[in-house]
């Protein structure tokens, strides 16, 4: 793949803005369309991108379209909705779905689109919006080796680690769900343990120091701890609503494969409680406030040294 191809980008949100910025700055001819945050589109146009009105118009102009939307329903909307991609798509178009979507839907779409001469690749993401801005994301990609290699120059604009799953299209979305359950599960553990620390009269900062100097220290723990220890919820910008979406997708995947979900079921219930208590649009580190509320503690973090 060369940079003279026209690339479309749908979903210039928390992750997508930085990704699209890197696409255009690293030499690709970029098409973008309006998102919830107008400032992202204005910024990208200022960097050299061209704005289009809708997915249909984008498909008519582009060789590759990157999707970075919330989940499976949003993928279907931009593909099959009014003025969607499929209204303007021509044979030879490639769609790169970086969303966290449902593997069975991805597998079905892959087959349906292939019959029309359209390629679909699942390439979900790991790391944070800050890494997206710096072009340092991790992506794992399902599908055949030749297609992945053809896309590598584009994927490399936003990812420093590109990991082929070795499986068919849909396998990367499955791997992403499993990865996210690890992160959501640990977030649930951190929330419960930080709450217990406060219940027994210790400072959260003391617990952070203890775990930092143990074999359980990791980036997830450090970013999570910045909220309760320093009052910074933005260290990990991923909403509890999205956590619930991802772990629900994982649960469906497990049911489809007749796999036990003893550990993830607890995290799933924690996410449901979060939404029921009105925390859905808060970020993952703020899950500690949900556990605090359930334990008769003030929800705001104790940031005193």
Residue 243: name the closest of 208, 283, 301, 298 by CA.
283
Q: Are residues 248 and 184 in the same domain?
A: yes
Q: Are residues 16 and 32 in the same domain?
A: yes
Mean pLDDT by 10 residues, the chain (305 residues): 84 94 96 87 96 96 96 95 94 96 96 96 93 96 94 97 96 96 96 96 96 94 94 90 96 96 96 96 95 88 47
Q: Are residues 15 and 80 in the same domain?
A: yes
Count of the separate structural domains present in the chain: 2
Q: Are residues 129 and 193 in the same domain?
A: no
50-83 pLDDT, tens per residue? Answer: 999 999 999 999 999 999 999 999 999 999 999 9
Helix axes 72-80, 103-114, angle to 10 degrees: 20
Which pTM does this prediction carry? 0.91
Report how far apart, in Å, the C-alpha atoms of 213 and of each of 120, 207, 216, 228 are. 44, 10, 8, 18
Q: Are residues 159 and 189 in the same domain?
A: no
Q: Are residues 136 and 230 in the same domain?
A: no
Q: Are residues 99 and 235 in the same domain?
A: no
Q: Are residues 207 and 132 in the same domain?
A: no
Q: Are residues 157 and 22 in the same domain?
A: yes
Q: Are residues 105 and 244 in the same domain?
A: no
How far does CA 51 lie from the centroid of its chain?
24
Domain extent, residue 152, equals 6-168
Q: Are residues 70 and 118 in the same domain?
A: yes
Q: Which residues are catalytic?
A: 176
């Amino acid at each position: 793949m060369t940079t003279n191809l026209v690339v479309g980008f749908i979903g210039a949100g928390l992750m997508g803005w930085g990704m699209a910025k890197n696409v255009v700055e690293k030499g690709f001819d970029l098409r973008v369309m309006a998102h919830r945050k107008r400032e992202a589109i204005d910024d990208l146009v200022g960097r050299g991108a061209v704005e289009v009105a809708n997915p249909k118009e984008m498909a008519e102009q582009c060789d590759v379209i990157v999707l970075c939307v919330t989940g499976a329903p949003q993928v279907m909307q931009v593909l099959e909705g009014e003025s969607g991609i499929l209204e303007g798509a021509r044979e030879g178009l490639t769609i790169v779905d970086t969303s966290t979507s449902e593997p069975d839907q991805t597998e079905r779409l892959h087959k349906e689109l292939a019959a029309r001469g359209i390629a679909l690749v699942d390439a979900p993401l790991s790391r944070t919006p800050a890494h997206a801005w710096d072009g340092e994301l991790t992506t794992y990609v399902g599908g055949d080796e030749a297609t992945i290699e053809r896309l590598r120059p584009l994927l490399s604009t936003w990812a420093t680690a590109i990991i082929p799953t070795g499986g068919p299209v849909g396998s990367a979305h499955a791997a992403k769900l499993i990865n996210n359950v690890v992160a959501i599960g640990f977030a649930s553990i951190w929330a419960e343990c930080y709450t217990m620390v406060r219940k027994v009269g210790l400072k959260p900062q003391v617990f952070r120091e203890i775990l930092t100097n143990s074999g359980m220290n990791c980036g997830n723990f450090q970013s999570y701890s910045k909220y309760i220890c320093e009052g910074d919820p933005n260290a990990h910008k991923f909403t509890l609503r999205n956590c619930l979406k991802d772990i629900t997708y994982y649960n469906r995947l497990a049911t489809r494969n007749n796999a036990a979900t003893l550990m993830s079921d607890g995290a799933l219930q924690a996410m449901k409680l979060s939404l029921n208590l009105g925390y859905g649009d808060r970020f993952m580190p703020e899950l500690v406030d949900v556990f605090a509320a359930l334990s008769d503690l003030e929800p705001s973090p104790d940031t005193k040294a």
